[in-house]
Structure 1
């Protein structure tokens, strides 16, 4: 007798594209692929079928992204303790939405909506409703992540998504940025600089292979491009609400480029690493009950000219 998978994948299709979603595994993405003559091409690194969220193609980061130090944070005159939430990580990381099962609310051939109602998960202070929307279009993907605060105490929020990209020897990451937070081994920010290391410089185009990077960039311009010369393809990212939502002053991006392995990350985020403990809490948005924060992304693929 065949056993049903613990976390079944729901597939969307449009033209030569297919997108696999795994609602019960943190509302994550299993794969985003293009059918080509030589076989499927993965735009995001495909899920390996394990229960490790870091092995999925992408997952949502809500109600904050990246790490929080200090055992928690203060809001409205009260300290809110936060526990580490991933094995091997000394700090809580990437929110808690990715650690919970989402509900598949609507499904069409080329579109789907997932929702999550979170009530103080693992003892943290957040009560919220989150929504993810995915819609395949002729040349790409429309993606939305939204969170609405439901608690009585106003709290700081942030959003992000965590896609993984397969890298070829000549893959490049291109995005307009103005500075970067340098980090210790944690890696928590230690200081900010406008002097970006040469092979980290996204504005000039950074290689997907090189020295280790796990750092947040400031002054991000709201668009990015992943180039795969070996495939003759590039993937563009644009944030359609970027300017009306504060522009470069309120948006950030992060690159995770490990020394080894087949994949790297480019993450659009609304606040830098450990923003809860940086001066001015850059990028964090304090929401009162009923208020929402939304992040819309437009991914487009095209031939590399």
Structure 2
């Protein structure tokens, strides 16, 4: 029997919850509650496509031309989105991670990001996933173990579903004051209020035929400092909240219209927690600079609700 193309598969269970995390990129492959899928994930014998469940380290989204300046040096990343001449979604998606600890409902994975062309810095990165009484939680931490400051951003790319054949009828809520227009390369061109636009999802409404690959910011938060993006079934009887911790200052919402696999388009909604927007390595917008010995943690999670 040949191994899975995503390596080891680590299953987590708690009550009616079940999640699966894979060795390749420490990606989140599957999450269900009482047998109902919460993620539009991928099978154990499938390769990862469309970024499903992947960690985006040390930058989320895109870097224009893969080129940026940091601490007086001109740096060039590999163009991993060659058709748009961008570097996309970081350097750890296709790296096998090592198991650090595991219990029935928790797994900790780690990897060392070593200096390489375009990113001459060293980061110790740990992903901890756990199932709790309120759902799934991810904690993604990075520590600069090198001797120079390092630019840093992080995100994760799950696709959520409420069981509809298409996302058109699903009800979306995004508690954001601003959206980021983007050019045809997926790079931001500014920041605009959502008021009076099709991107105003502060009040729940169906997605309809709107094509989203859109970043939002200035997120409304609850007393715990969490922003909650909600996808609900058209009946309103059930859904899932994607909560974002305070270091997730942006969220990208993607309806999958450009996925390479036509049968996967508009089947789930990617709700991507991000610490910074696209092209932050060039613009510096909300870019984290990790001094030697300093760390950063991104927290986000999934809270399903309603009847099965």
Q: TM-score range by the shorter chain?
A: 0.7 to 0.9
Residue 223 of structure 1 deviates from its aligned partner by 2.3
Partner of 2:288: 285
Partner of 1:179: 178
Describe the SS at the equivalent of 1:276.
helix
* Deviant stretches of 4+, over 6 Å: none
Residue 132 of structure 1 deviates from its aligned partner by 0.6
Segments of structure 1 that go 5 or more residues without pairing to the other structure are: none
Describe the SS at the equivalent of 2:219.
coil
* Alignment of 1:151 onto 2:149: no
* Alignment of 1:294 onto 2:297: yes
Is the 8 Å Cα contact of residues 179 and 217 (structure 2) preserved in structure 1?
yes
Residue 17 of structure 1 deviates from its aligned partner by 0.9
- In structure 2, C-alpha distance between the alignment counterparts of 1:115 and 1:53, rounded to whole Å: 22
Residue 298 of structure 1 deviates from its aligned partner by 3.6
- In structure 2, C-alpha distance between the alignment counterparts of 1:171 and 1:26, rounded to whole Å: 30
Partner of 2:269: 264
Bigger Cα displacement from structure 2, 266-275 vs 79-88: 79-88
Partner of 1:126: 121
Residue 51 of structure 1 deviates from its aligned partner by 2.3
Partner of 2:157: 162
- In structure 1, C-alpha distance between the alignment counterparts of 2:182 and 2:106, rounded to whole Å: 39
Partner of 1:238: 243
Give the TM-score, by structure 2 length.
0.85
* Alignment of 1:54 onto 2:68: no
- In structure 1, C-alpha distance between the alignment counterparts of 2:83 and 2:269, rounded to whole Å: 19
Structure 1 residues 71, 61: CA separation in 2 closer, same or farther (over 3 Å shift)? closer
Is the 8 Å Cα contact of residues 199 and 210 (structure 1) preserved in structure 2?
no
Is the 8 Å Cα contact of residues 170 and 230 (structure 1) preserved in structure 2?
no
Give the TM-score, by structure 1 length.
0.86
Residue 122 of structure 1 deviates from its aligned partner by 5.6
- In structure 1, C-alpha distance between the alignment counterparts of 2:159 and 2:196, rounded to whole Å: 22
Is the 8 Å Cα contact of residues 244 and 273 (structure 2) preserved in structure 1?
no
Describe the SS at the equivalent of 1:212.
coil
Partner of 1:30: 29
Partner of 1:191: 190
> For 1:149-178, what per-residue CA distance to the aligned partner results, in whole angstroms no more than 9, with x for missing partners?
123221221111111123624312212111
- In structure 2, C-alpha distance between the alignment counterparts of 1:177 and 1:231, rounded to whole Å: 21
- In structure 1, C-alpha distance between the alignment counterparts of 2:2 and 2:217, rounded to whole Å: 47
Structure 1 residues 265, 41: CA separation in 2 closer, same or farther (over 3 Å shift)? same
- In structure 2, which of residues 63, 81, 105 is the aligned counterpart of residue 68 of structure 1? 63
Is the 8 Å Cα contact of residues 163 and 265 (structure 1) preserved in structure 2?
yes
Describe the SS at the equivalent of 2:146.
coil
- In structure 1, C-alpha distance between the alignment counterparts of 2:126 and 2:83, rounded to whole Å: 29
- In structure 1, C-alpha distance between the alignment counterparts of 2:46 and 2:15, rounded to whole Å: 28
- In structure 2, C-alpha distance between the alignment counterparts of 1:112 and 1:174, rounded to whole Å: 30
- In structure 1, C-alpha distance between the alignment counterparts of 2:118 and 2:65, rounded to whole Å: 16
> For 1:235-267, what per-residue CA distance to the aligned partner results, in whole angstroms no more than 9, with x for missing partners?
123345x2xx5xxxx711111123443122111
- In structure 2, which of residues 227, 232, 252 is the aligned counterpart of residue 227 of structure 1? 232
Is the 8 Å Cα contact of residues 173 and 225 (structure 1) preserved in structure 2?
yes
Structure 1 residues 21, 197: CA separation in 2 closer, same or farther (over 3 Å shift)? farther
Residue 47 of structure 1 deviates from its aligned partner by 0.7
Segments of structure 2 that go 5 or more residues without pairing to the other structure are: 221-226, 258-264
Is the 8 Å Cα contact of residues 69 and 282 (structure 2) preserved in structure 1?
no
* Two-structure CA RMSD over aligned residues (Å): 2.2
Is the 8 Å Cα contact of residues 60 and 276 (structure 2) preserved in structure 1?
yes
Partner of 2:224: none
